[in-house]
Homo-oligomer: A and B are copies of this chain.
Amino acid sequence: MAATDTALAGLRQMIASGALGPGAKFPPEPELCERLGVSRSSLREAVRSLAALGVIESRHGSGTYVSALDPAEIISRFSLSVQLIPLEGVLQLLEVRRVLEAHATAAAAARQDPDLAPLLDKILEQLEATTDAAEIQRLDAEFHDAICAAGGNPTVTALTAVIRGRGGHYRIFEPGSEFDAIKQTSDRGHRAILAAIAHRDPAAAATAASAHIAQTELWLRALRPEPQPD
């Protein structure tokens, strides 16, 4: 087995076996090198791999630690790779988001948090008042994030946020011929979601959320805009 793979398997095993739980500190690099039988370079590459996956955290001058192993944090690490996926794959991911967010929106409606509807209304008022693309994206994310968070499953919230972040790179809302029609349709979709939540109607909430995101999918398929780097 290759040296880096040996180190990777060894580190993974130390966590999987329960020897090191969430937040635990690894031995210093020289000791790990000796124990795993690899050079420091190879060990560090293995550590980097696990760090990229959100399993390990290296703190300069302090040590190397097992992460909290929280699924939401781990999922958020995938943002980097998701942001590089081409359009065809993004459409598949949007179907995932549509299904999950419909579920989360229904859960939010069922939970009857009295503070949620006023918060969402405040966000929508700002959203409806602006025509700035970046501002639209920020407020849209805030709206959907608040709903998902109210759904009660942080993992679902993280997953939908990662996918939404990718969709945001395709600037549907750039000023153009279709801008007004798209913006109005989007605003109406948000209001429909809020209305369903305010009426404590989970089924209507799921339908409204699903329709809203399906609309985004249709725009992406039709416009096929170029993604914006950075």
Contacts and interface: CB of A to CB of B under 8 A. Distances in A.
Contacts of A159: 96
B69 A53 contact: no
Interface size class of A (residues with CB under 8 A): 35 or more
Interface in A42-56: 44-46, 48-55
Identical chains in the assembly: 2
A190 interface: no
A71 B85 contact: yes
A213 interface: no
A88 to B, nearest CB: 9
Given A78-B74, A80-B55, A93-B155, A86 B22 contact: yes
Chain A interface main SS type: helix
A155 to B, nearest CB: 4
Given A53-B77, A69-B85, 8 more contacts: A13-B230, A16-B229, A16-B230, A46-B48, A48-B48, A50-B52, A69-B89, A74-B85
29 contacts: A4-B48, A12-B84, A13-B229, A15-B84, A16-B229, A16-B230, A41-B41, A45-B45, A48-B52, A49-B51, A49-B52, A50-B81, A52-B53, A53-B53, A53-B80, A55-B81, A69-B86, A70-B85, A71-B82, A71-B89, A71-B93, A74-B82, A75-B78, A92-B154, A95-B153, A96-B100, A96-B153, A96-B159, A99-B100
